[in-house]
Structure 1
Amino acid sequence: MSAEHEQHSLFLPLVFVGGLIFGFGLGFSHMAQPEVVLNFLQFEDFGLLFVMFGAAVVTGITFFGIKQFRSTAPLTGAVYGRRLKTLDRNVVIGGGIFGVGWGLSGICPGAAYASLGVGNITILYGIAGMFVGAYIQGYWRSASAESDAPATAAD
């Protein structure tokens, strides 16, 4: 975050409140239970589809409508803008790997944390796996970036 955009003092507390609402919604809709997610992935229960659709509608309306009232974020002062990401090989491969992990564990990362709140302590294995996987990917990307860097006269 640049020096020109100071965070409002309520930024972190509101992020926490947003997390509480998100976690409560996941627990209330039973999406924090891996069995429910696995049933969706096996085309036996389509409740997750309705939860995702409801979230997408609310988010879409909010992101579309907010630009009509404000040009900057109220708590950070940052200008609203879209981050365009091209569909490349890394997105396709990473999405496939994510999907395999989601299917094997039965839960996506956000719901994994909410799953702890509904008493699913064994999800800690999945959360540990997410951290280890992210660390390995970060290490691999750093190593490949270093090997791709052009040699200089000082090398």
Structure 2
Amino acid sequence: MKTLSALLAGLVFGLGLILSGMANPAKVQGFLDLAGAWDPSLALVMAGAIGAAFLPFRLAGQRKKSWLGEPLHLPGTREITPRLVLGSLLFGIGWGLAGLCPGPALVLLGTLSGPALVFVSAMLAGMELFRLLQHKRA
């Protein structure tokens, strides 16, 4: 049942990314181009996503387990750290340059899109570099 629910959630998420335009790098870059030909349509997508997720996240905060009986792992802190700020800046820069973030990139990977292949390869390399640096630091 867990695998089926994960599959269905992934399909709904991927379909939502495609239908909303979030998997279209040109549309995303148009949204991020505040000083140029700004395309505000993705702001409506984000507002809709926040609205749709607000109540479920409120309810999840009051539960210890998911509907499938799995433990919920919600963030335990709201602290804004230099590491969080730096990671957010790097994420935003990558999103702006590529017009992709991890979710849409994985959706596009299914189409064997060249930019998605490059993006996902670079993302995986960055994750491995982070892991190595963390290991060396510890």
TM-score of the superposed pair, with normalisation by structure 1: 0.77
Contact 1:11/1:76 (CA < 8 Å) preserved in 2? Answer: no
| Equivalent position of 2:46 in the other structure | 52
Give me the whole-angstrom Cα distance separating, in 1, the residues matched to 2:6 and 2:116: 23
Give me the whole-angstrom Cα distance separating, in 1, the residues matched to 2:100 and 2:22: 8
The alignment's C-alpha RMSD in Å is 2.1
Give me the whole-angstrom Cα distance separating, in 1, the residues matched to 2:76 and 2:66: 15
Larger radius of gyration: 1
Gaps in structure 2 of 5+ consecutive residues: none
- 1:131 is aligned, of 124, 130, 133, to 124
Gaps in structure 1 of 5+ consecutive residues: 1-9, 146-155
- 1:103-143 CA-partner distances (Å, limit 9, x unpaired): 11111111111223466343110010000001001111110
Q: Which has the higher contact order (CA 8 A, sep 6+)?
A: 1
Give the secondary structure class of the aligned counterpart of 1:122: helix
| Equivalent position of 1:88 in the other structure | 81
Contact 2:108/2:116 (CA < 8 Å) preserved in 1? Answer: yes
Give the secondary structure class of the aligned counterpart of 2:91: helix
Identity of aligned residues (%): 31
- The answer on 1:63 being equivalent to 2:57 is yes
| Equivalent position of 1:5 in the other structure | none
Identify which range, 72-81 or 55-64, moves more after superposition. Answer: 72-81
Pairwise CA distance, 1:82: 4.7
Contact 1:116/1:123 (CA < 8 Å) preserved in 2? Answer: yes
TM-score of the superposed pair, with normalisation by structure 2: 0.86
- The answer on 1:24 being equivalent to 2:15 is yes
- 1:77-113 CA-partner distances (Å, limit 9, x unpaired): 4257552241111101111111111111111111111
| Equivalent position of 1:72 in the other structure | 65
- CA gap 1:24/1:142 in 2 versus in 1, 3 angstroms: same
Contact 1:73/1:80 (CA < 8 Å) preserved in 2? Answer: no
Give the length in aligned residue pairs. 135
Contact 2:23/2:105 (CA < 8 Å) preserved in 1? Answer: yes
